[in-house]
Amino acid sequence: MRVCVIGSGYVGLVTGLGLAELGHDVTCVDLDSRKVDAINDGRLPIFEAGLEDLLRSHTGGRFRATTDLAAAVSGSAITLICVGTPSRDDGGIDTSFVEAAAIEIGAVLGAGGRGHCVIVKSTVLPGTTDGPVTDLLEGASGKRAGIDFGVGANPEFLTEGQAVDDFLRPDRIVIGGDDLALAALRELYTGLADVPLVATNARTVEMIKYTSNAMLATAISFSNEIANLGAALGGIDTVDVMRGVHLSRYLTGAAAGAEPVRAGIAAFFEAGCGYGGSCLPKDVAALLARGREAGTPLRLLEAVAAVNADQPARLVELLERELGPLRGHRIAVLGLAFKPDTDDVRCSPAFPVLTSLLAAGADVVVHDPVVGAGALDELPAERPAYENDLTAAIKDATGIVIVTRWSVYADVPEILAGLGTSPVVVDGRRMLDPSALPRYAGIGR
């Protein structure tokens, strides 16, 4: 199929290159000409494991990028909208990028033939695709949805850091919309015919996306709350608590006598610094705002968000417990990305941790193996020092805080042994063996 992808960010690029890998002919569109030039030159504007190989394989062949939306839409059978849907100040989502794209696409449909399908892949609240998006497409084109052109939704479930694999070997494909859209989406994914498919209406698939993220956020805040109680009571290690919980047959699915299999959800039941990234905080906030608007406040999710907002402060409390007032202490913060194997720092817990440490008067140095110093521009006031080299970052530290579970941080005990120093290590991800360090404080311990 000839496919147009609008928005060449994380989702757009992974989708576009993934579809090229599945054999489709793809044009990715973006407003940002620097992004488009970089992509056509074989350089990725984002870091995502495995994506560069796909770019190398398909640029100049089945894949290209452009700023010319009209040409890309008119040359395609299906258009996937993958633009951002950021949070508004009141927590709701800003769908203005989706709406602007719908108007531009509608104008092209008005001048073209019949049968083109427009699919919303961006995360939008239930009622957006069959509401404002359809209205704008019809208004701008003067044509009828479901008859002259198709409209549907196909939310993306990829996880940054493993996005290419998630796209090419998904656990599910969720599609919704009118008959034209459903038929086009089935054709788009024929290369993934073995993957479980949910085909329903657009509102239901929009709800599936939000419910999935709300469930994961709930698991994280639940385990953090249990970990915090365990730490307050003393003598309890949350890692062992959760290991004991995970062995339940309800979670492992193991028959009596069979080897238990660790359920994937177990990764969300590990205590840590809280959830971050471009999706969970934004999607939980959007669902909360929608619930309030609809007169159905989501009380459980309100608590999930509140627990999460407090969690980064726990790392700073652990440091203070071990070191006393932090003024004058050299503190190394390890990790800026919200999770490993990505350079995405949106809503990373690193920022509240840094802000609290700087406010406490600590002398802060930051390290991340992938994210550069430029990300520190996000901080409202003072900027901490940045160090590329892990050993140099922790050399003179009296305290170390691990924020991101990057695999290189497994080397921290060995590096410290080589340096002969014994700073307090606050393990915000519970990734180190406590006995490997002279002074260890882990979240939930």
Query: Nearest approach, Cβ of 174 to ligand NAD (angstroms)?
Result: 12
To ligand NAD, the closest distance from the beta carbon of 53 in angstroms equals 19
Q: What backbone phi and psi angles, to 5 degrees, belong to 76?
A: -125, 165
Q: Which is nearer to ligand NAD, 45 or 291 (CB)?
A: 45
Closest CA to 376 of 397, 393, 351: 351
Closer residue to ligand NAD, CB minimum distance, 27 or 278: 278
Least Å distance, CB 139 to ligand NAD, is: 16
Residue 253 or 372: the one with the smaller Cβ distance to ligand NAD is 372
Least spacing, CB of residue 45 vs ligand NAD, in Å: 8
353 φ, ψ to 5°? -65, -45
* CB-nearer residue toward ligand NAD: 46 or 77: 46
Residue 144 CA to residue 289 CA, distance in Å, equals: 31
Q: Which is nearer to ligand NAD, 10 or 149 (CB)?
A: 10
CB of 29 to ligand NAD, least distance (A): 5
User: What residues form DSSP beta bridges with 28?
Assistant: 5, 65
- Across the strands, what pairs with 367? 334
Cite the active site residues. 279
Rounded CA separation 68/66 (Å): 5
The residues that touch ligand NAD, with contacts defined as CB under 6 A, are 6-12, 29-32, 35, 69, 82-85, 97, 100-101, 122-123, 156, 158, 160, 278-279
**Residue 250 CB neighbours (<10 A):** 9
CB of 381 to ligand NAD, least distance (A): 25
* Closest residue to bound ligand NAD by CB: 9
Closest CB 236 distance from ligand NAD, rounded Å:
34
With helix as H, strand as E and coil as C, how does the chain read?
Answer: CEEEEECCCHHHHHHHHHHHHCCCEEEEECCCHHHHHHHHCCCCCCCECCHHHHHHHHECCCEEEECCHHHHHHCCCEEEECCCCCECCCCCECCHHHHHHHHHHHHHHHHCCCCCEEEECCCCCCCCHHHHHHHHHHHHHCCCECCCEEEEECCCCCCCCCHHHHHHCCCCEEEEECHHHHHHHHHHCHHHCCCCEEEECHHHHHHHHHHHHHHHHHHHHHHHHHHHHHHHHCCCCHHHHHHHHHCCHHHHCCCCCCCCCCCHHHHHHCCCCCCCCCCHHHHHHHHHHHHHHCCCCCHHHHHHHHHHHHHHHHHHHHHHHHHCCCCCCEEEEECCCCCCCECCCCCCCHHHHHHHHHHCCCEEEEECCCCCHHHHHHCCCCCCEECCCHHHHHCCCCEEEECCCCHHHHHHHHHHHHHCCCCEEEECCCCCCHHHCCCEEECCC
Of 70 and 415, which CB lies nearer to ligand NAD in the complex structure?
Answer: 70
> Of the two residues 85 and 311, which places its CB atom closer to ligand NAD in the complex?
85
What residue type is assigned to position 76 of the chain? S
To ligand NAD, the closest distance from the beta carbon of 336 in angstroms equals: 16
Beta carbon nearer to ligand NAD, 36 or 318: 36
